[in-house]
């Protein structure tokens, strides 16, 4: 039997710092707060929800500031976990590709799309130009995992995520959902607050979603990222696109456009529609905004990441896309954060 002193020492509530209020940070914060720990969440931006941040614009239309976020997963636990913080509205995302002649065909490439363009042309039409502008390198230089996110099909399925059981949007948006995650008496949130390494010593443990190479002052070199520049336009019409997103097959700089109103609960203005175009670039050309880590074919970037990872001190855990240097979808970010939180708590 443990003495009460030992019990108290063993179960002492901790002071925790979470750097970054995105999905990863919010999940960790929530789990630790529920377990009784005192959690301080900081974010350098003026809002929570990280790159999933959304807002309602002057036309009553919900826009995702950092590009379209569509929730899809086969992970029931994650779906139900987030369901504690939002009502889910079912939505199965559809995407069309616009051919050079203006015709729209289904993506991911299915039986019908293959019949229209010819199976032998699929890579050259849909993947090579898009991937070049998206990543700034040729298709063959990237890890195949990247384009395998959009697998070619033999059936007539028309959905962008054909195999995911749970597909939905948070009724009041991602920002509201993350705010709900962070709304807990053991969580204190400060936005507009830049992290600095002096903070670490004031806490029992730090969960950090900042870029791991930056934390180490880039001492082994920089981990590359792609970024996206967004261009949002408003058109005086009810509806402009056949689907919520249209991908471009041309080799111009833009990859795709999203018409927000075509997603449920994103507003219903009869007279005006808001569209956002995406133009990928190196993150150095976009204010060092990191969106996509680059999984190269030879795994060089991963090797560099591992060098940093080997030197992470005991009181620090890196989380999220930038901390783990991984192309995490939202459900993967939450799943990973739940696993990290549980391991920490046990």
Q: Which residues bind ligand UDP (CB under 6 A)?
A: 97, 107, 126-127, 130-131, 134, 146-147, 149-150, 247
- Closest CB 188 distance from ligand UDP, rounded Å: 32
Q: CB burial class (10 A; 0-12, 13-18, 19+) of residue 280? A: buried
Provide the minimum distance between the beta carbon of 63 and ligand UDP in the complex, in angstroms, as a whole number. 16
Interatomic CA distance for residues 289 and 274, integer angstroms = 23
Residue 149 C-beta: closest distance to ligand UDP, Å: 4
* Closer Cβ to ligand UDP, 243 or 317, answer by number: 243
Residue of 231, 227, 230 lying closest to 288 (CA atoms) = 227
Do 197 and 210 meet the contact criterion of CB atoms below 8 Å apart?
Answer: no
Which of 249/317 has CB closer to ligand UDP? 249
Reading the block at residue 186, the tokens are 């053991």
Nearest to 167 by CA among 153, 179, 157: 157
**Minimum Å distance from CB 268 to ligand UDP?**
25
Residue 149 has φ and ψ, to the nearest 5°, of -65, -20
State the nearest-atom distance from the C-beta of 158 to ligand UDP, in Å. 15
Closer Cβ to ligand UDP, 27 or 332, answer by number: 332
Residue number with CB closer to ligand UDP (175 or 227): 227
Task: State which residue, 49 or 95, has the beta carbon closest to ligand UDP.
Answer: 95
The answer to whether the beta carbons of residues 215 and 195 sit under 8 Å apart is no
For the bound state, the minimum distance from the C-beta of residue 247 to ligand UDP, rounded and expressed in Å, comes to: 4
* Closest to ligand UDP by CB, 131 or 208: 131
Query: Among all residues, whose Cβ is closest to ligand UDP?
Result: 130
Q: Taking the chain, what is the end-to-end CA distance rounded to the nearest angstrom? A: 19
Contact at 8 Å (CB) between 27 and 50?
no
């Amino acid at each position: 039997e443990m003495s009460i002193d030992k019990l108290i020492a063993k179960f002492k509530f901790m002071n925790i710092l979470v750097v970054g209020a995105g999905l990863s940070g919010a999940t960790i914060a929530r789990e630790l707060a529920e377990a009784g720990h005192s959690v301080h969440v900081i974010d350098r931006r003026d809002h929570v929800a990280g790159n999933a941040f959304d807002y309602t614009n002057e036309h009553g239309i919900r826009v995702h500031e950092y590009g379209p976020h569509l929730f899809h997963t086969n992970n029931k636990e994650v779906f139900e976990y987030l369901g504690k913080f939002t009502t889910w509205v079912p939505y199965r995302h559809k995407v069309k590709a616009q051919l050079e002649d203006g015709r729209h065909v289904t993506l991911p490439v299915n039986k019908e799309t293959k019949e229209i363009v010819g199976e032998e042309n699929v890579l050259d039409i849909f993947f090579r130009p898009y991937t070049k502008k998206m990543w700034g390198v040729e298709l063959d230089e990237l890890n195949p995992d990247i384009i395998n996110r959009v697998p070619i099909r033999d059936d007539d399925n028309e959905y962008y995520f054909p195999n995911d059981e749970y597909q939905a949007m948070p009724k009041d948006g991602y920002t509201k959902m993350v705010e709900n995650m962070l709304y807990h008496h053991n969580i204190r949130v400060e936005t507009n607050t830049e992290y600095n390494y002096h903070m670490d010593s004031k806490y029992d443990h730090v969960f950090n979603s900042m870029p791991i190479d930056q934390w180490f002052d880039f001492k082994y070199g920089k981990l590359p990222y792609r970024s996206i520049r967004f261009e949002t336009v408003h058109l005086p019409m009810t509806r402009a696109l056949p689907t919520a997103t249209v991908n471009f097959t041309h080799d111009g700089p833009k990859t795709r456009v999203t018409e927000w109103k075509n997603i449920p609960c994103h507003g219903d203005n009869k007279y005006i529609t808001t569209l956002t175009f995406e133009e990928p670039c190196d993150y150095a050309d976009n204010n060092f905004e990191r969106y996509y880590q680059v999984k190269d074919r030879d795994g060089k970037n991963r090797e560099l990441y591992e060098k940093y990872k080997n030197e992470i001190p005991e009181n620090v855990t890196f989380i999220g896309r930038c901390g783990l240097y991984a192309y995490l979808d939202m459900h993967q970010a939450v799943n990973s954060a739940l696993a990290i939180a549980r391991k920490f708590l046990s």
